[in-house]
Every structure is written in C-alpha cells, then in structure tokens.
Structure 1
Amino acid sequence: MDKENKLTFLGMVIENHPLFDKKVEFFVTNDQRVYQDKSEQLTNLSGSLWVNNLVALVGKNATGKTTILKMVIGTLSLLLQDKSISQTRLQDALLGKNEIKIIVYFYGSDQVVFKDELSFKPEFESGDWHIVAEKIYRKKLAARFSRQEVFSFKDTTLLYDRDNIGEVAASVLANDDSIFRIIRRKGEYRVQKIIDTLIFTNVNALVYNNKEVPLEILEYLDPTIEYLKIDKKRIDANSFQSFYRLRFKGSTEEITDTNFATIEKYLSSGTAKGVTLYGNILNALRSGGIIFVDELENHFNHTIVRTFIEYFTNKRINKNEATLIFSTHYSELLDDIERGDEIYIAKRDNNIHLQRYSNAKVRTELNKAEVFDSDYLGGTVPKYDAYMKLRKATEKVITDD
C-alpha cells in the first residue's frame, strides 16, 4: 500500500478580480450525493469527501472560460511547482490596479485540510504583481464529518503567516513566491502534476514525448497513416530538434523534415492536435495529475472528444485518479456528463459569473443541453435582439451589393 502523503486540490475562491463577480468559486469536490454504483467518475478522499475526475466549463463566447482556467492553472503552478507569479498564467490573468484575493483549499492524505489565503497587488511603478499577504491554516478532519465542515475554518488556529515566518526565511523569499512550499516540504507531500495544454488551443503543433506515435491513436485519428515517428536530434547541450518521419499506407515514400510546417501539409489539424493531446492525456493518467484543456472540441468531432472524456471516468484506465478540467462551447457534451456538480456554466454581463449546474434549480429529468441552449438559466446563448440586428445588418450588406 502506498504510504506516501498526497496533496489534492479541492477548490478555490477568487475575490475582487475586476473581470469577475466580487466572489467566484471553483471547486472540484462533490456537492451532490455519491451513489456507490455510480462513483467511477469520482475519487474518494475520505468519508463523504470526493473529488470529480472530470470538470467541464461551458459557456458562449467571451464569458471568461479561458481566464478562469488561467487563474486556476496559475495559482496551482505558484503553490505546487515552486514557480514565481511571472512564471505562471497569473502573469496574464491578474488584472487591474487593486488587490485581488485568492483562497485555495487542499486535502492531505494524512487526514488534514489546508486553507491558503493569498492577496496579490501590482507594484506602483513596474506593474508587476506580487504577494502582499499570505496566511495558511490547517485543520485535522474528525473521523466523521460533513462536506460543510471540510471548508469551515472558523475556530482554526493560524499555521503560517507570511509576515511572521522569521528573518532568515523572509530574506530569501521573493515577493512573488508563495510560502506554501513550507507545507509541502514539511509534510513530505506528493503533489498533483499540473499539465497545461492551453498553448495548443489555437496553435497547430505536433508534440509527442516518445519516438514512435502509437499506431492505435493514428488508426483512430487517420487510418490512412502507416506510421509517424519523431526523432530527437541534439543541437547543443541544452536543446534538441525534432525530426519527423511520416508514411501513408500504400505509399513507398517516407515524408521527412525537421520543419513541422512540411509535415503539416500532409496531416489534418485534428490529427496533429489529437496526437499532441493524447500524449498529454497519457501523461495525466500515468501521473495522476490535473490536465487543463481549453476548447476541447477544437478540431475534433464529438466521438473523439467523448473518447478522451471517457478515459477519466473509467476506473480501469484512470487508475491513478487523474483529473480533466476543460472548457467547451458544445452544449451537446453536457448530456454525456452525468453529474451536475461536474459542470460549471460561465456567463457574463458587466462581470463574469460562474454557476455550478448542480446549484441551479433545474429538474433532473430535463436534458442538460436543451437547458443550456434554451437559455433557461439566462446568459447561455446570444441575445435574440443581437441575433436580429446581425441578421438585418447582413441583409443590408447583401442588398447594397
């Protein structure tokens, strides 16, 4: 049995961000009852505390889905990967001139819960963001507890305060580094690997760690390919260059080049992105990490998207309890997601709102995609008057031509 202490992300609260509601919550923990015969898509941490292995963020264009992903990725990179703010997605996601607060919760497998309260503010002259306050709380979970008790720190003693960590520690701590590393190292926690694929959202690239791309994924994405190999050639002590080798079935010609632009002429964007995403998904499944994908449906048909989603809800594949957090415009995918607490709906008027589907007062028998497309919850589809204005403008342009 694995005796190593593990640290699992539970959720976070964002306060005073200029683009968001005054308070926005994003949690991967369950807030619905978990039935034992339908628990494959969740991981049990302790008692009634579960985390979803799948979380979908759905919304129409310009509702802040990517910004929310960047806030979560950036915060986890800061706390779990010893990165400075400037090295994370927070560099792009923190905006404005006023203080922004982020509260993050983690579960330790030694039956404890941590609460890290961080306050960020930009420097007056440079505009660079730094941490102006950080307080960490720790509580031991009782043998029996409710889900509400997990996040209640009302009578909990402060564990660490950034302003009172000692002169030596303070002297070596940069103002854009977190003190949460103290928790990880003192508790000897193994943390979840953070796999950020946002760079591939709108960029067609072919990246795969192993030399030979598995034939099974090639057959699934493009059955005309016989093989695709990516050799790594060392350029110097610190860098490599990819050398692509592609061959199609029924052809004697091998297409080779160090420039992906050449290979890209022969591969569909869906195939290239599918291979890249598949490699990252394998990385998450093997390590038990958290993988973030923006616009999961981009370049894929629904069957491929559903295949990748199913990996995280199948215990025979997701043995290491990995988590997929993705955004999508496709409401049709919602009907493949059984639990309402696996779905967040992003909406926007003056600010970005985030609503958990399980907290919406929607009858369980209603089709989730139809609820979204009908604007039943408000703000999930373009406004009708905007649609009519666009239609009339289009008619006018064509008529004037």
Structure 2
Amino acid sequence: MIHILRSEIEGLSLFNNKKVIFDLVTEKNVTEEDVVNGNVKRIDELIDKLNTIALVGSNATGKTTQLRLIKMVISIFLSLDSLNDFENLADQFENTFRFTNYFYNAKTLYKVESSVEKTATGDFAFTEETIYSKKIYPSHKKSELFSFDLSKRGQQELLRRSSLPSEMKAFLRDDDTIFSTVVRKIMNNKVQDIVIDEIDMTNKNKLTTKDTIPVEYIKYFDPSIESIRILSKDAPSEKTNVEVTFKNDSAIQVPLIELSNYLSSGTIKGINLFIDIEKTLKNGGYLIIDEIENHLHKSIIMNIIQMFANTLNKNGATLIFSTHYSEIIDMVPRTDMIYVATKEGNLIQLKKMSQVLGEEDRNDKKKSEVLLSGKLDNTPTYKDLKRVRSKLRSSISETASENNGGASK
C-alpha cells in the first residue's frame, strides 16, 4: 500500500500566497492510546498517519475547493488518472503551477515534484517532473521527515521526466505523471481507484449504487423497510426500477429517480455512504465527504467517524470531510486532524487548528467553543452581524411605514 503523507500545491489563484499545504500525518505527540483507538495508523516508527481529517469553516471559505484539490492529487498520483480528468478545476490554477507530493511505502519516502502548465488549447500538461527517494532509518528525526539531502545515505534522484529515454516518452502522455512507474511496480500493475468522493452528491438525493444493498444498512436508517432491490441493473439510471418492501406490507416497484418520494433524504444519503465506507475500509483508500452534516443526525456522524477510528479500519483507510458545524468537530479527537478554513481578503487560507492555537492548544477546552468564540477567524464577525441587523431593522421599518400609510388613505 502506498500512502500519501503530504501535498503542497503552488500557483493557486484563490489561495493566500497562491499556495496550500495539506498534511495527512500527525504533528503533535502521539500516545499509545491514539494508536490503539485507531485515531492514527502507525505506518513507520517515524510516521503516524491520520485516519480522519476534518475541514471546518463558515460559508464560502474554500472547504469544497480544498476537497476537490486533494481528490485531484490522490487520483492523479495514486489512481493514475490524468491531469485533464480535472479540467473543471482549471480556474483554480494560474497558467503555470506546481505539485510537491510525498508518498510512503515499505521504509521508503518518495518526493515527487511536478511542474504543470496550461497549454494554448486550455489543457493541462506536465512540463517537468522529478522523483526522489529516501530510505527511512530509526536514526532519522521526525521533524526532518520531509527534508531531502542527496548527499546523505539512502537518498537519491530516481527519475526525471526530461531525462526519460525517447522510447518511454513515446508512450507517456503529457497529462500523465511519471510516478506511475513507481506505483505500478509497487502494486504489481494492479492499480485501483482508491478515492471515493461524495463532493458532488451534497445537494443530490438519489441512490448511487446498483449493487445489492445489505439489509443491515437499510434498517440502520429506516427500520420500517425490509429490503431494497435494484431491478434491471444494466439499464441506465433513468430507466432503472427499484423494488422496495416495507414492514408488514407488499413490495412496490418505483423508478430509481423517484425513490426519494418513498425514502427520506437521510436514508438515501446514509445507504450511499455506508456502501462507500465499506469499499474504502476494504482497500485502505480515501473517502471524501462534503458537508457531512447534510441530512444526517449527529449520532450517525459520530458513528461514521468512529468506523475509521477502531479495529474495523485495519487497512488504514482515511476519512476526509468538511462541515459548517463546530459541534461535529468535538467528535474529532486531535486538533492536528482539523483544518480551519478562513478568508483573508478574498483569498482562502487553510491552517491546522493545532498550528493556529499554538500554546493555547489544550485538551480541557472544547474545540467547538474555541471555534464559536471567533478566535480563529472562522465565524462571521460581529460587525457583519450588526450590518445584517441594521438592514433588517430598516426594511421592517419601511414596511411598517408603508402599511401605516396605506391604512390612512
């Protein structure tokens, strides 16, 4: 299994300093309890990978954009999708931009530097890539994990795109990464799609699977339903029918696209999520959920988070989600698992909660209270609230004046 540990992207139009860093490893001290409870997965003596990462912030602070970016990175460099599979993100980047990604497998850390440009046709193309490797030894310091020095033992440049033999270049597309050679070798050419995202399903209310739906998943969300069976699985979604059997009632057949008339939004979202969770836990992949609170009770969200933080998660799967609600953040055990999204001017800024709090990062403080206090600049300001109240007051006064004037005529 190859793990992504860190991703740095430079050349982002809407981000502060045109850059974002997304870490998937711990920065605070790790206790044995953290490891035993499954909050982190120890993949090396020096490396503890976070099993859950949360993004929190108010509206329009870039949470969804960041989820799309990390999905893009994992898909291109681990699932070996192409750059141009993500042309919908073109507006996020300047004409030239750069990835620096760090991956780990079997005592080896890989650093992949990738320079990209937008071509005259609007497509993405790699202009240069370099892969470095570093053997991880017990003598290494955790603080220097991502530092590379090719003069030191066990560190080397593995591959450079511009130095590839012409016969290799002939088979390499401009929008495919050269890291594919490393991934295919490690995975014995059995590359799989290890990232599942629910980003575009935030405001959609439809069943996304045509597989058999376990009755346990159904009854967890709605005990009144005995079974849901997909009919005509090979048909397109708009022509697919579903058989639904309710408790003490006969089965009914309905079009898949009309299922929301019979099942609640929470039941449909929950079934979709549980099926995706099962797939993710099986392959040790990544599940990305935007606005996890939509249609789901807090207790269900807590159970979902706990599925990635116990012995069920033996393959080191990762849950990455966003939320508007600070109360949900109290379910996340470590502050270095939490990114706080804010806007500085019109630019997005993403920082770990542990970094923002610094010396004030204490276990006796509820994370939700810190977030709601406004100390992290993640909530609407009091000035903004005063403006809203003033506008409401004037609008109400105008309406009252008009009504009084009309009554006197």
| TM-score, scaled relative to structure 2 | 0.89
| 1:32-111 to 2 correspondences below 5 Å | 32-39=28-35, 40-88=38-86, 91-92=88-89, 95-109=92-106, 111=107
Distance 1:33 1:75, change over 3 A: same
Instruction: Choose which of 250, 255, 268 in structure 1 pairs with 2:252.
Output: 255
Where 2:84 maps in the other structure, the secondary structure is helix
Distance 1:363 1:263, change over 3 A: closer
Distance 1:398 1:144 in 2: 69
Find the counterpart in structure 1 of residue 226 from structure 2: 226
Instruction: Choose which of 22, 25, 28 in structure 2 pairs with 1:29.
Output: 25
| 1:234-273 to 2 correspondences below 5 Å | 234-235=234-235, 242-252=240-250, 254-257=251-254, 259-273=255-269
Q: Contact between 1:201 and 1:294, CA under 8 Å: does it hold in 2?
A: yes
Unpaired runs of at least 5, structure 1: 1-5
Deviation of 1:208 (Å): 2.9
Distance 1:19 1:50 in 2: 31
Deviation of 1:93 (Å): 5.4
**Amino acid in the other structure paired with 2:136:** L
Find the counterpart in structure 2 of residue 205 from structure 1: 206
Deviation of 1:143 (Å): 3.0
Deviation of 1:96 (Å): 4.4
Distance 1:262 1:209 in 2: 15
Listed one character per residue, the Cα deviations across residues 133-153 of structure 1 (whole Å, up to 9, x for unaligned) are 211111111133222232111
Distance 2:234 2:334 in 1: 47
Larger radius of gyration between Structure 1 and Structure 2: 2
Distance 1:56 1:191 in 2: 27
Distance 1:28 1:191, change over 3 A: farther
Deviation of 1:13 (Å): 0.8
Deviation of 1:217 (Å): 2.2
Distance 2:386 2:289 in 1: 33
Distance 2:239 2:41 in 1: 39
Give the share of equivalent positions with the same residue, in percent.
Answer: 33
Distance 1:370 1:122 in 2: 44
Find the counterpart in structure 2 of residue 3 from structure 1: none
Distance 2:168 2:204 in 1: 41
Distance 1:376 1:248, change over 3 A: same
Find the counterpart in structure 2 of residue 397 from structure 1: 395
Distance 1:244 1:162 in 2: 50
Where 1:300 maps in the other structure, the secondary structure is coil
Q: Contact between 2:12 and 2:94, CA under 8 Å: does it hold in 1?
A: no
Instruction: Choose which of 300, 307, 317 in structure 1 pairs with 2:303.
Output: 307
Where 1:304 maps in the other structure, the secondary structure is helix
| 1:2-401 to 2 correspondences below 5 Å | 6-22=1-17, 23-39=19-35, 40-88=38-86, 91-92=88-89, 95-109=92-106, 111-124=107-120, 126-155=121-150, 156-188=155-187, 193-211=194-212, 213-235=213-235, 242-252=240-250, 254-257=251-254, 259-315=255-311, 317-349=312-344, 350-360=346-356, 361=358, 362-364=360-362, 365-377=364-376, 379-401=377-399
In the alignment of these two chains, the number of paired residues is: 386
Listed one character per residue, the Cα deviations across residues 169-198 of structure 1 (whole Å, up to 9, x for unaligned) are 112222111111111123446767111221
Distance 2:314 2:138 in 1: 26
**Amino acid in the other structure paired with 1:183:** V
Unpaired runs of at least 5, structure 2: 400-409
Deviation of 1:227 (Å): 1.8
Distance 1:191 1:174 in 2: 18
Query: Between Structure 1 and Structure 2, which shows a larger proportion of helix residues?
Result: 2
Listed one character per residue, the Cα deviations across residues 26-66 of structure 1 (whole Å, up to 9, x for unaligned) are 11111111111232211111112110111111111111111
Q: Contact between 2:206 and 2:257, CA under 8 Å: does it hold in 1?
A: no
Find the counterpart in structure 1 of residue 403 from structure 2: none
Distance 1:339 1:66, change over 3 A: same
Deviation of 1:203 (Å): 1.1
**Amino acid in the other structure paired with 1:293:** I
Provide the aligned C-alpha RMSD in A.
2.0
